[in-house]
Amino acid sequence: MSGSIRASNLLHQWWIPSTKLPIGTGRRRSSRLPIGLISALEARLGLSLCLCQQLQTATGAVIDKSSKHEMVGAFQKLPMVMPSIDILSSAQRKARNVTPTKGIANIAKRERNRGAKQLDALMKELAVPLRVYTENFPNKRYLHPYESSLIELTFGEGNYEEVLGRVDALRKRLISVGKQHASLCAKSSSKREAEEQLSEGLKKLEEVFQLGKNAVDDLLNVAKTLRAMPVVDPQIPTLCLVGAPNVGKSSLVRILSTGKPEVCNYPFTTRGILMGHIIFNYERFQVTDTPGLLRRRYDDRNNLEKLTLAVLSHLPTAVLYVHDLSGECGTSPYDQFITYKEIRERFEDHLWLDVVSKCDLLEDSPANILEDDVAGRYKRFGPDGAIRVSIKNEVGVDELKNRVQDLLGSQMARLRAEKTQVES
Ligand SMILES: Nc1nc2c(ncn2[C@@H]2O[C@H](COP(=O)(O)OP(=O)(O)OP(=O)(O)O)[C@@H](O)[C@H]2O)c(=O)[nH]1
Ligand SMILES: [Mg+2]
């Protein structure tokens, strides 16, 4: 990240509410969006993410058997970063209050002593908080892979480390300049020279800090962003809604859980991982809504799509895969089929439930053509065993809830078995 500008732009983009998007409204019935338009939308939106935390859970253990429990939840333990302006003013105030060592009768000596001590104090007051930050912000290599992916997809590869590197470089420069000027002051031959050296040293330290202070403010923004990310407890069974953009994932999250993600008739309404909770028989489960997946190679996917894949890769979720066979969503059933096959194969070990959404639109849908191969059957019925749901007409909702409850029950049993295995 080249300095503060990139970081602050990034963080600013972050919160562009999707309601400001140029097309579509929730009331419009039809929006067949061609892939070209979807790409244009993406370009317009940038690849910024909006990670909203609707509900926080206690942090807990990790499914990855090689990881330690406390590895999840690192973002909630980040040190509080003070704005650079506050660090500077507090350091200057404290340094000014430093008095010479008692009992020095000689005026020149006393002034030398005072000057050197004040410069030393200013240097330390500026450098110590920076050391605390660089030592306590986690090294991405030791984070849980989910949190590590969040950092990478959020700030871009290497940018988190780059901000920390700039803070550390500032700390080192402050120490070097502070020591040099304190030493010059201590060597002054007169009271006047000591005063001049002190004033010169204070000015120089302030200059150095002013020059590098953006690094501290960037780190403050990084910390704010990371703390606001959703906390997922991998010990609690989690349902992850996956599917192409605009197929009705968020609508299903709204009826299944406490999560209230935005629902709109355009792709990539959901721009981050959203957490909700679902209670069955006094048992609490997590639900994550994710950004939609388009038919394309991994390298061509945007960071929103990669975020969805990171959840599936690194968290022990059961999948609720949503298919819109009406084509209303803007992605053709065939393209959904191709993406589905890829994701299903890639995450074959996940517990899984397929849902065909918007079934109120299916009867007269042009996608209802008879073809007898796998893709043809998919276009008519969705994957084998898929249940049909319409939020609009309230069809299949009870069955969906029952099947989700069963799925999460199985996920719970699986998590318990894995825990027992790890413990024994
Ligand atoms: N006719 C009909 N429309 C539905 C149904 N469920 C959802 N929709 C509409 O489909 C559109 C997209 O719904 P969302 O829930 O935002 O879809 P999404 O998959 O979360 O979309 P992204 O977050 O953009 O990926 C909205 O206009 C919904 O009102 C349904 O059962 N029937
Ligand atoms: Mg959504």
pLDDT, one tens digit per residue, over 334-376 is 999 999 999 999 999 999 999 999 999 987 545 445 566 888 8
Domain boundary among 165, 197, 227: 227
Looking at ligand 1, which residue's alpha carbon is closest to its atom 10? 248
Looking at ligand 1, which residue's alpha carbon is closest to its atom 4? 358
Which of the given ranges, 6-10, 60-64, 349-353, 415-419, has the highest pLDDT on average? 349-353
- State the DSSP string of 210-226: HHHHHHHHHHHHHHHHH
Report the C-alpha gap between 72 and 74 in whole angstroms: 6
Considering the domain architecture, whether residues 78 and 153 belong to the same structural domain is answered as: yes
Three-point CA angle 404, 410, 414, nearest 5°: 140
Q: Is 169 a pocket residue for ligand 1 (Cβ < 6 Å)? A: no
Instruction: Indicate whether 44 pLDDT > 80.
Output: no
At 252, is the secondary structure helix, strand, or coil? helix
The whole-number average pLDDT for the span 303-315 is 91
Assess if residue 399 is contained within a domain. yes
Mean pLDDT across the chain:
83
The whole-number average pLDDT for the span 37-44 is 45
Assess if residue 2 is contained within a domain. no
Instruction: Dump pLDDT digits (tens) for 177-188.
Output: 999 999 999 999
Instruction: Dump pLDDT digits (tens) for 253-270.
Output: 999 998 888 888 888 888
Considering the domain architecture, whether residues 110 and 251 belong to the same structural domain is answered as: no
Q: Is 292 a pocket residue for ligand 1 (Cβ < 6 Å)? A: yes
- Pocket probe mutation, ligand 1, options 29, 49, 240, 269, max atoms within 8 Å of Cβ: 269
Q: Who wins on pLDDT, 102 or 274?
A: 102
Three-point CA angle 273, 274, 280, nearest 5°: 130
Torsion, Cα of 340, 346, 352, 354 (10° steps): 0
Considering the domain architecture, whether residues 106 and 18 belong to the same structural domain is answered as: no
Q: Is 357 a pocket residue for ligand 1 (Cβ < 6 Å)? A: yes
Report the C-alpha gap between 7 and 5 in whole angstroms: 6
Assess if residue 59 is contained within a domain. yes
Q: Are 287 and 328 in contact (CB under 8 A)?
A: no
Considering the domain architecture, whether residues 163 and 64 belong to the same structural domain is answered as: no
Considering the domain architecture, whether residues 27 and 129 belong to the same structural domain is answered as: no
Domain boundary among 227, 247, 271: 227
Instruction: Indicate whether 61 pLDDT > 70.
Output: no
Q: Is 325 a pocket residue for ligand 1 (Cβ < 6 Å)? A: no
Q: How many domains does the chain have?
A: 2
pLDDT of residue 15: 26
Which of the given ranges, 4-8, 68-72, 175-179, 252-256, has the highest pLDDT on average? 175-179
Considering the domain architecture, whether residues 214 and 321 belong to the same structural domain is answered as: no
Question: Lowest-confidence range among 39-53, 231-245, 291-305, 379-393?
Answer: 39-53
Assess if residue 3 is contained within a domain. no
251 alpha carbon, closest ligand = 1
The whole-number average pLDDT for the span 291-296 is 93
pLDDT of residue 371: 61
Q: Who wins on pLDDT, 228 or 183?
A: 183
* CA of 254, closest atom in ligand 1: 15
Q: Is 271 a pocket residue for ligand 1 (Cβ < 6 Å)? A: no
- In sequence order, what E strands does 233-375 have? 238-243, 274-280, 283-289, 317-323, 352-356
CA 58 to chain centre: 17
CATH of the domain at 184: 1.20.120.1190
The 3 state secondary structure assigned to 115-162 is: HHHHHHHHHHHHHHHHHHHHHHCCCHHHCCHHHHHHHHHHHCCCHHHH
Token pair 């319409």: residue: 390
Q: Is 263 a pocket residue for ligand 1 (Cβ < 6 Å)? A: yes
Neighbours of 348 (CB within 10 A): 8
Assess if residue 4 is contained within a domain. no
Q: Are 87 and 79 in contact (CB under 8 A)?
A: no
Instruction: Indicate whether 111 pLDDT > 80.
Output: yes
Q: Is 286 a pocket residue for ligand 1 (Cβ < 6 Å)? A: no
**Phi-psi category of 80—alpha, beta or left, where left has phi over 0 and alpha has psi -120 to 50?**
beta
The whole-number average pLDDT for the span 396-401 is 96
Closest alpha carbon to 254 in 391, 395, 404: 391
pLDDT of residue 57: 28
Assess if residue 46 is contained within a domain. yes
Considering the domain architecture, whether residues 249 and 145 belong to the same structural domain is answered as: no
Domain boundary among 164, 199, 227: 227
Q: Is 308 a pocket residue for ligand 1 (Cβ < 6 Å)? A: no
CATH of the domain at 402: 3.40.50.300
* CA of 389, closest atom in ligand 1: 31
Q: Is 330 a pocket residue for ligand 1 (Cβ < 6 Å)? A: no
Q: Is 245 a pocket residue for ligand 1 (Cβ < 6 Å)? A: yes
Q: Report the DSSP beta bridge partners of residue 240.
A: 288, 319
Token representation of residue 258: 């406490």
Considering the domain architecture, whether residues 94 and 220 belong to the same structural domain is answered as: yes
pLDDT of residue 264: 84
Report the C-alpha gap between 109 and 84 in whole angstroms: 34
Model confidence pTM above 0.95: no
- Pocket probe mutation, ligand 1, options 27, 247, 251, max atoms within 8 Å of Cβ: 251
> By residue range, what is the domain housing residue 51?
9-71+231-423
Considering the domain architecture, whether residues 144 and 259 belong to the same structural domain is answered as: no
Question: How far apart are the CA of 26 and the centre of ligand 1, in A?
Answer: 8
Looking at ligand 1, which residue's alpha carbon is closest to its atom 32? 358
C-alpha distances out from residue 53 to 56, 266, 415, Å:
7, 22, 24
Q: Are 362 and 269 in contact (CB under 8 A)?
A: no
H/E element, 334: helix 333-346
pLDDT of residue 184: 97
The whole-number average pLDDT for the span 396-407 is 96
Considering the domain architecture, whether residues 265 and 405 belong to the same structural domain is answered as: yes
Q: Is 400 a pocket residue for ligand 1 (Cβ < 6 Å)? A: no
H/E element, 388: strand 387-388
Question: How far apart are the CA of 249 and the centre of ligand 1, in A?
Answer: 7
pLDDT of residue 272: 82
Looking at ligand 1, which residue's alpha carbon is closest to its atom 3? 358
Question: How far apart are the CA of 251 and the centre of ligand 2, in A?
Answer: 7
Considering the domain architecture, whether residues 357 and 337 belong to the same structural domain is answered as: yes
Token representation of residue 409: 């029950």
Closest alpha carbon to 204 in 95, 93, 122: 122
Ordered strands of the 352-356 beta sheet: 274-280, 283-289, 238-243, 317-323, 352-356, 387-388
Q: Is 26 a pocket residue for ligand 1 (Cβ < 6 Å)? A: yes
Considering the domain architecture, whether residues 62 and 100 belong to the same structural domain is answered as: no
pLDDT of residue 259: 84
